[in-house]
Amino acid sequence: MKDCIFCKIVNKEIPSKIIYEDEHALAFLDIEPVNVGHTLVVPKKHFETIDKMDKEEYDKLSEAILKISKGIMCLADGLNVMQNNKEIAGQAVPHVHFHLIPRYNDDGYRFDWKKDEDVTEKENNEFLEKIKSFLK
């Protein structure tokens, strides 16, 4: 897609530190790594968010994520896999990407997902009922 920075990386129009490439996926180092080896894995085809992907493309991307995860786990003590959709969820680049963040013992990071108010059981039960109708 024109004007998409990750499409430009996929098309080698702008440079990146590529760590893995196959027919469907590209993986490169994040330009602002939160830890050594912070990697982004993207589908070569442009999808804005994960729900726009078709199964075949997602399966191919998953294969690359699994392969790279196995490699990272040979070099690191742990691994966070994260993927953001839409601005509210922290997505800055609207081209699907998975963050693979190697973790090292005593690296000093904490992932704190606490929000101001706890989720109530009622809210969770309502979600449970609604989501089922979309997953049949």
Q: 38-50 burial string, b = 16+ CB within 10 Å, else e?
A: bbbbbbbbbbbeb
Q: Does 99 qualify as catalytic in the annotation?
A: no
Q: What would the DSSP string read from start to end of 8-54?
A: HHHTTSS---EEEE-SSEEEEE-SS-SSTT-EEEEESS--SSGGG--
Q: Which is nearer to ligand AMP, 36 or 118 (CB)?
A: 36
Q: Which of 24, 38, 46, 103 binds Zn ion (CB under 5 A)?
A: 46
Instruction: Residue 1: name its binding partner from Zn ion, ligand AMP, none (Cβ under 5 to 8 Å by kind).
Output: Zn ion
Stretch 6-45: interaction string toward Zn ion, x if CB under 5 A: xx--------------------------------------
The angle at the Cα of 84, spanning 80 to 85, to the nearest 5 degrees, equals 160
Task: Establish if 1 lies at the interface with Zn ion (CB under 5 A).
Answer: yes
Q: Which residues bind to Zn ion, rule: CB under 5 A?
A: 1, 4, 6-7, 46, 95
